[in-house]
Amino acid sequence: MDATHDERRIAARAAGLMMIAGGMLATVTVILPPRAAGSDALILGLAMGLVSLGVMLLGLRRASEVGLGIALAIGTVAITLATREGGLVGTGTNDNEMLYVWICLFAFNFLSMPHAFAQLALIGASYAWLLSGVPLDEGASRWLVSLSTLLVAGLLVAHLRRSRNRLVDELTHRARVDGLTGALNRRSFEERAEAELARAKADGTPVSLVIIDVDGFKRLNDEHGHPTGDAILRRIANRLELETRQTDAIARPGGDEFAVLLPGAASAAALAVAERLLSAGVSDDEPGVTLSIGVATGPPDDGSFGSLWEQADAAMYEAKRAGGNAARVAGSNGPAALAVAG
């Protein structure tokens, strides 16, 4: 379930609760003194309509922006009619126009800005009609103060919404990538791999996995310090970016290990990537750093990423046992499985 779907589901639930609360408040204003200036029956009818709309919204798994906008418009009309029917002075509904705040805050929090301003415009027109029964100077003052307050409150909510969304996006990004190199972390890589394997199985196309391990990385850290080791890991990530396609996925599952997923690539193409990595080296600044690389091509028989990972990992350790600075292809023992940088 994506973030947009979640937000729309939350919006539908919030709108439903808001409508139910509004209907209950309208009912209370009829029951409690003072009496309404107009028809209590009409106010109760509006209250029941709001409660019914609220219950319907609560039952939705998600709501479109248009649907939410229609619900808000109905709420604005109901507030206006109930307040008009109750009377603006000395009645049980003379403060009902405060409920416009609910509509405004909801609109600026859940709807697009043009749609939110459209809802505010509807509130402005409805409130102007509502105040047409009071003296012009009083009505103009009340309208201006109320609409200015709603506008400022709405813009504040919109600002907070943008800040919240940026924070959520940043946290989501941080949760999916390795902070040191910018490559995907293991969880994100596995999610991408499972999707690519399912697609490859359905389309009958290959997908290859390349696992890279830095030879003697612990010794390098011990002798030169962790800042040097971190710099090397970043250079490897940059080299992988240069040697792969935009459609490929690069990850740092942990430590000194990297993984590259190559959708649509058979063993020969994946081995060619490994050979380029071995030939190019980590960087011109660190000519002594070498890599051990394992290559596996799937989908495997069981279609799982775990099986493909085990094959590539075993091939990588075979390259490391051969002395490092080499690449091996899973399931191949001949000379073609080996690539050593010259």
Helices (H), 216-342: 217-224, 226-243, 267-280, 305-321
**CA–CA distance, 241 with 332 (Å, rounded to integer):** 27
- Residue 6 CB neighbours (<10 A): 11
Task: Give the HSE-up count for residue 89: Cα atoms under 13 Å, Cβ half-sphere.
Answer: 6
In this structure, what token pair is assigned to residue 58? Answer: 């609560």
Please list the helix, strand and coil fractions of the chain in percent, rounded to the nearest 5, in that order: 65, 10, 25
Q: DSSP code of 184?
A: B
- Tokens found for residue 40: 């209590």
**Tokens standing for residue 86:** 């109750």
The one-letter code for the residue type at 116 is A
Closest by CA position to 236, among listed 176, 291, 317:
291
The CA radius of gyration of the chain, in Å to the nearest whole number, is: 32
Gap between the Cα atoms of 235 and 305, Å rounded: 27
Only one residue has tokens 């209590």, namely: 40
Cα 293 → chain centroid: 34
230, 256, 285, 301: which one is catalytic?
256
258: phi then psi, degrees, rounded to nearest 5: -125, 160
Q: In sequence order, which residues have a C-beta less than 8 Å from that of residue 179 and are 6 or more positions away?
A: none
Place of tokens 């709807």: 111
Is the peptide bond preceding residue 34 cis, with omega within 30 degrees of 0? yes
Residue 95 annotated to the active site: no
What are the catalytic residues?
256
